Chains A and B, each alone.
Chain A
Amino acid sequence: MLWVDKYRPKTLDHITVHEEIAQNLKKLVTEQDCPHLLFYGPPGSGKKTLIMALLRQMFGVSAEKVKVENRTWKVDAGSRSIDIELTTLSSVNHIELSPGDAGFQDRYIVQEIIKEMAKNRPIDTKGKKGFKVLVLNEVDKLSREAQHSLRRTMEKYSSYCRLILCCNSSSRVTEAIRSRCLNVRINAPSEEQIVRTLEFIGKKEGLQLPSDFAARIAEKSNRNLRRAILSLETCRVQQYPFSSKQTIPPMDWEEYITEIATDIMKEQSPKRLFQVRGKLYELLINCIPPEIILKRLLYELLRKLDAELKLEVCHWAAYYEHRMRLGQKAIFHIEAFVAKFMSIYKGFLIATFG
């Protein structure tokens, strides 16, 4: 097992990073009154860990006994019926699913399947809780329609069904849903917290972890705890007696974007843009989300850029990302950003150096 999974806290008591939140949640649950919950925060901050610990707090160990079910649902959509495939994780007391997987058909999942699940009272009425829990992942990927249909469900079956929603950004969740939930923001852990966690793991594993090395890992992890722990384990595998100068292996896709950025800085021409396009395609093919590519690319470009241009480049990055989110073909917009950057940079070079 990876350390990420091995040292994942199982109960609310063991949670170290978001201790306060964990304690609050514990109080909330033990008082028998659980509202709908909306967890949001950046990736790798510990949302799911908190949710799992919370479930365990609610239902005890039985919550950890889950089974995977991949089922095809037949949904009546007006005149025709649609088959929707959906994978759920369920225990006796809770069901976990990602309705965003269905793409544009997510409306039917919310309207039919989630409703169906919410309707059914838990069979085991002798259990501690009189309700069951639906965990919905990636709520921010739900379409507007789906979110609208969700809010009625939330109210109607609230007596015996609680929803725990989980997403990266609450801004893409409609106001109506947010107001029906207790919003729990999960911050990205600070670097000190990451360092502490790494040291805890090091102790458990019996490793000699130099503190500056831990700090470096924490710094490179971009405040992503998962990435920090994975990096630590990678370093451990590559070279055990840690030296503080040890290289921390980078993410390959980030390396690749760095290469692209170098390419862009070297030459600005349609021909080069064409090469860059090929590389961008490579990234997209490997399922790296375009937003992340654009963000990272901007980051890499800014590092190499004259301060004068930074503001303008940032502006255009925001502009093109906005268009990218509105549009469909991400490559058009990323490429347009690269072209824009090339144009600005080239103009700048000509102006400065003649």
Chain B
Amino acid sequence: MLESNAHLLEDYPDLEPPEPYPEEDQEAPPAAQPPPSPDLQFDPEVQIIGHKRSRSDSPDVSLSEAVRPSEEKRGRADDSVRENDEDWLRYSPSQGSDHAVEERVNFVKEKMLSRYASEIDGECMPVTAPNGDRVYAKLNRSEGEERLKKLDVRANSHDLISEPINILFEKLEQEAFTKTLKASTECESVPDVPETPVVHEKLWVDKYTPKSFTELLSDEHTNREVLLWLKQWDSSVFGSEIRSTSDEVLSALKRHSTVAHHQKPLDSKFSRMKRGPKWSNNTYRHSKSMDETGNSNSIQDILNKKSKHIGPPEQKILLLCGPPGLGKTTLAHVAGRHCGYHVVEVNASDDRSTSTIEAKILDVVQMNSVMSDSRPKCLVVDEIDGALTDGKGAVEVLLKMVSAEKKSDVGKETLAKEHPGRKSSKKGRHTTSLSRPVICICNDLYAPALRPLRQVAKLWEDDGVSSSHTGFTYLFNQQLAVWLKYICNKEGMKANAIALTALAEYTECDIRSCLNTLQFLSKKKETLNAFPFVCCWKNQRIVLYVRGREYISKTCLILASLIDYQEKYLAAVFFGFEDYAMKNKINGFSKFDIGSQVVGRKDVSRNVLDVWKEVFQRKKTKMERKSCSSKPFEFNSLYSLLSNRGDGDLILDGIHENILQLSYHDPVMQKTVKCLNSLGVYDLLHQYIMRTQQMPLQVYLPSIAITVNRLVAQVQKPNIEWPRSYQRFRTMMTEKMDILNTWHYKIPPQIARHLSAVSFVEDLISPLLHILTPPSLKPVALQLLSDKEKKDLVQLVSTMVSYSITYKNTKSDVLPNSLRHVVADDLSLDPPIGGFINFKDYTSNHYVLSLAMKQIIVHEVEKQKILQVNIDRHSGNESSSGRHELIEAGTSNAQSSKINHAAEISVKNIQNENNIWEARKYNANAAIVSPNLHPDKGVTDNVKLLNTGSMKKPSAGSFFDRFRKLSSKGLQSDDRTEKKEASLEIDSRPLLFKFNECKIILCGVEVHSFKGIGYVSKENFRSHSMHFSLLKHNGKKPYQSKAKMFKASAIGKLVLKPCYLTV
């Protein structure tokens, strides 16, 4: 309001009323009484005047509306409005004598004003306020002038106007009338310029907003789609009687579009521009809207379909998205109006919490306005992706309504058909369904808040012109420039076409931004110049022309002599390419710079794939051909592109991944070396920044990608792959490291401590794999092996055990069938160390053991493990170092044990229960004998418990010494030094084991399992057959008073677990 009034006021500056008060009394209700402070009063007063004038002087209301058709937009342009206001305020006092009068009147009131005429000496005049108060003001010319001067009011020293007020009014009216008449005729002829071109106060963006559908700047396809979609609502919104007209419109549209198709886009001066919007090929899009992008026949199809199907379109919501400044909002408004809707806009500035928005939407879609404007409403939700929470509210409400609609559609389809318009009002608030078109506008289609909406809405991307569509950009820039030129001409602003093209390019075809910039420049009385920035190669020196000045000679000197920061920057950029220029015999560059004049560049971030494409692809435009190349400009745009994108790591990975796939001319690979070097520099720099936290240095990172671009960029479109290999490498390496580490932990510390994870891979694995697969081993029954082979096998098994390697099934298909002979199909090493030498395209010459052999080895390894575990148990120590020490202790005591040989035989004959106790006592004794061991608490408890009932055998110590000896033999069967003694001693003597669970496994099959306590005589360790005496069976009762001997000569495996010892 304010702004428009102000603007009207400017329209008729000479008609400023000389004495407003008497007239004001009649119409203006606000206080016309001279207020205490003139400054405050000034503004509203004039506003009132302007308002009044506009009403009274232009009786044609619609005309005045036409003058300000887009008042909704004003809210957004708050700043500029204020600017305008301020402008106006600034020079308004000097506008005419009328102001002087006003000022004076206002000013006079301090002393020269009185309620009573008698109090004022000299001439006076009555002034009446709207509330009836009447004051008398003194009329004193000379005094007033003096005061004005004193107070430094910039008023003219004019008198009251000599002409009577009514004449003035007549004049004013007449003039206003002619003006509007003129304007209206102008409107008809040139609809874009409704005002006289001298007028600057209105934002050009608003001023040149398209008023009708045909004026839309945005792409024809897009426009048509929106219109079509809106037209599909006609049947349900306006009822069937309007269908015929809608058909007419459609056919008209069809005609229009076909005509438009034949037109060259450049022919029409500014109306139709190819903007390259895409129809996103979403699968859920309805087919009928799909196929009519290409051929105009499809419109006919829709017509046919429409006649059959009357309801609202399939997608109730239209989602319109694209970068800012392309005219999405304008399109929505214009299209809505065009189709006869009253457009209601909800944008980010409104309260968009769920409850309020719901009420609002309901108002829009269900109610009809009772006021004069009874057109059906069309909701435009602008900036729906804006704030996350806010947008969500709106999205939720919309979704709810859509889903409700779907349900009700299914249920009451017929009803909906009969009364499509009043359906919702009948049902009331419960089924709030959409019965009016809703257009949502967003910038980022893939904002998370919009995800659900994308599913239900009809959508397309009005994605403007990203510079990836290279040829196109140029064309469009040209078109936009032509249009801008037109506006400039209208506005009487000088601007050359090249500069305008540069501007369009610079703003990335943001129309709004272009217009604002132009208006700003025109306000500053500047002309948009693309100042030529020329660099020449002259007499072995670089000559640089910046803004007409010439800079020669050394780089640093030039840099120092350049005044402007911008210039310095450009120059610095420039000399980066000195080498390049030399080599390529380029004599000079030129560039048209806009940046120094335009306030700012758009801060957009691009998809990372686009970034890579930019890096690898050289632009081939006309511009480039004209001037040798526009290197600095490319540098700038690439630089900002890369730095806007941010995640340099990803970008560099992508470059690294794809660079070798490019086909650039590189005979001796120098370019490749350079590229990889610069990648290396990036790595170093990045690492340095991360280590020292010198974040400011990050500004240099993007330039590395630019180097690459300079070196390898090609005109052809690169085939870019997403960088995966580095990530793959990272994950796989950590995986393998984990394998190594877990393996490392499993290996007993005596061995593991000598190896680091690195030396595992470096030194150990290859030989180890050879050692584990001796080709000499034959898969035959153990009994058939020769001594030497047995020894080899034992050696192998002990290696495997000490490195805690085993075989395991690669397939878990061991069928529990009756035979149980079915073992897995294949066995592989358990820590999968084979993988460490399994390089791609590499065949190692490792021998592979046969399956049968592997099975045998597995059994042996298992057995060996069990034996070790048991020995560990008996020694009461879990750590294997304890075991070793025990063994040592055992061997040292071997001699003494011999002496007590006789006693030991008696020990053999003792009752089994005693044996058990002794077995326990052995534990206790072992703990006592070796003081370095940690006493096992459980064992000592047992000893306490048992000591009460058991007698201590004097020979116990020696018995257990022998026992220890045995175990040592069992383990280190190949220890030659001790062999003879052992075989002498142990032959007939049993070993005592206690087991929770015994399994006798014969050739892989479990033959018998039981719980119990048994003897295992020493001999059996060798032959792998076991004699053991069962003392206690399944934990229930002693089997016999004396040990019963089981003979199982061919037992392959004995699985043993400790048992409890209640007798």
Contact = CB atoms under 8 A, between A and B. Distances in A.
A5 B932 contact: no
A115 interface: no
B750 A234 contact: no
Identify whether the interface residues of B are mostly helix, strand, loop, or mixed.
helix
Given A252-B842, A328-B683, A238 B750 contact: no
Contact of B767 (A98, A233, A292): A233
A240 interface: yes
Nearest to B687: A328
B670 A70 contact: no
Given A292-B762, A327-B683, A230 B749 contact: no
B825 interface: no
A252 B844 contact: yes
Given A2-B799, A137-B756, A343 B683 contact: no
Contacts of B964: none
Nearest to A43: B759
Interface string A46-77: 00110010000000011011111010000000
B676 A335 contact: yes
A295 B815 CA distance: 51
B932 A61 contact: yes
B660 interface: yes
A281 B764 CA distance: 21
A346 interface: yes
B758 interface: yes
Nearest to B662: A270
B770 A237 contact: yes
A326 B684 contact: yes
A96 B881 CA distance: 15
Interface in A253-286: 253, 255-256, 259, 268-271, 273-274, 277-279, 281-286
Contacts of A288: 761-762
A67 B872 CA distance: 13
A201 to B, nearest CB: 13
Interface string A136-173: 01100000000000000000000000000000000000
A8 B753 CA distance: 13
B750 A5 contact: yes
Contacts of B802: 1-2, 5
Contact of B758 (A96, A231, A289, A332): A289
Indicate the member of B684, B725, B773 with the most A CB atoms within 10 Å. Answer: B684
Contact of A340 (B673, B683, B798): B673
Interface residues of A, number: 80
Given A237-B774, A238-B774, A65 B749 contact: no
A332 B680 contact: yes
Nearest to B659: A270
B301 to A, nearest CB: 50
Identify whether the interface residues of A are mostly helix, strand, loop, or mixed.
helix
A331 B726 contact: yes
Given A64-B885, A281-B729, A343 B766 contact: no
B837 A252 contact: yes
A15 interface: no
Contacts of B881: 64-67, 91
Interface residues of B, number: 81
Nearest to B836: A286
Given A138-B756, A252-B844, A343-B673, A89 B749 contact: yes
A251 interface: yes
Given A237-B774, A331-B726, A343 B668 contact: yes
A28 B127 CA distance: 117
A249 B840 contact: no
Nearest to A292: B762
Contacts of A287: 733, 736-737, 740, 757-758, 761, 836
Contact of A61 (B667, B751, B764, B885): B885
Contact of B672 (A8, A252, A328, A343): A343
Nearest to B932: A62
Nearest to A273: B660
A336 B677 contact: yes
Contact of A273 (B672, B775, B844, B882): B672
A66 to B, nearest CB: 5
B679 A346 contact: no
A234 B667 CA distance: 46
B840 A282 contact: yes
Nearest to A335: B676
B756 to A, nearest CB: 7
Interface string A188-212: 0000000000000000000000000
B775 A285 contact: no
Given A8-B754, A273-B660, A331-B726, A249 B669 contact: no
A184 interface: no
Contacts of A285: 729, 732-733, 736
A160 B838 CA distance: 49
Contacts of B740: 287
A346 B768 CA distance: 40
Interface in B1027-1057: none
Contacts of B906: none
A340 B680 CA distance: 12
A1 B799 contact: yes
A249 B732 CA distance: 27
Interface in B163-189: none
Given A2-B771, A336-B673, A70 B666 contact: no
A226 interface: yes
A314 interface: no
A240 B776 CA distance: 9
Interface in B767-804: 767-768, 770-771, 773-776, 792, 798-799, 802-803
Contacts of B732: 285
Interface in B860-888: 878-879, 881-882, 884-885, 888
B729 A284 contact: yes
Interface in A61-103: 61-62, 64-68, 70, 87, 89, 91, 96, 98
A5 B740 CA distance: 19
B736 A249 contact: no
B353 interface: no
A2 B768 contact: yes
Contacts of B749: 66-68, 89
Given A240-B776, A287-B736, A253 B679 contact: no
Nearest to A135: B753
A233 B772 CA distance: 10
B770 to A, nearest CB: 4
B678 to A, nearest CB: 9
Nearest to B802: A1
A333 B683 contact: yes
B565 interface: no
Interface in A292-332: 292, 320, 323, 326-329, 331-332
A227 interface: yes
Interface in B518-577: none
The 3 closest A-B pairs by CB, nearest first: A230-B767, A252-B837, A327-B683
Interface of A: 1-2, 4-5, 8, 43-44, 48-49, 52, 61-62, 64-68, 70, 87, 89, 91, 96, 98, 137-138, 224, 226-227, 230-231, 233-234, 237-238, 240, 249-253, 255-256, 259, 268-271, 273-274, 277-279, 281-289, 292, 320, 323, 326-329, 331-333, 335-336, 339-340, 342-343, 346-347, 350
Given A43-B759, A252-B839, 20 more contacts: A1-B802, A5-B751, A65-B885, A66-B879, A67-B749, A67-B881, A68-B879, A98-B756, A230-B763, A238-B774, A252-B765, A252-B766, A255-B842, A273-B669, A279-B840, A282-B842, A292-B762, A327-B680, A328-B687, A339-B672
30 contacts: A1-B798, A2-B799, A43-B763, A48-B753, A61-B885, A61-B932, A64-B750, A66-B879, A68-B745, A68-B879, A89-B749, A138-B756, A226-B763, A230-B763, A231-B767, A238-B774, A250-B766, A252-B765, A253-B762, A273-B669, A287-B740, A292-B762, A326-B684, A327-B680, A327-B683, A329-B726, A332-B656, A342-B672, A343-B670, A350-B667
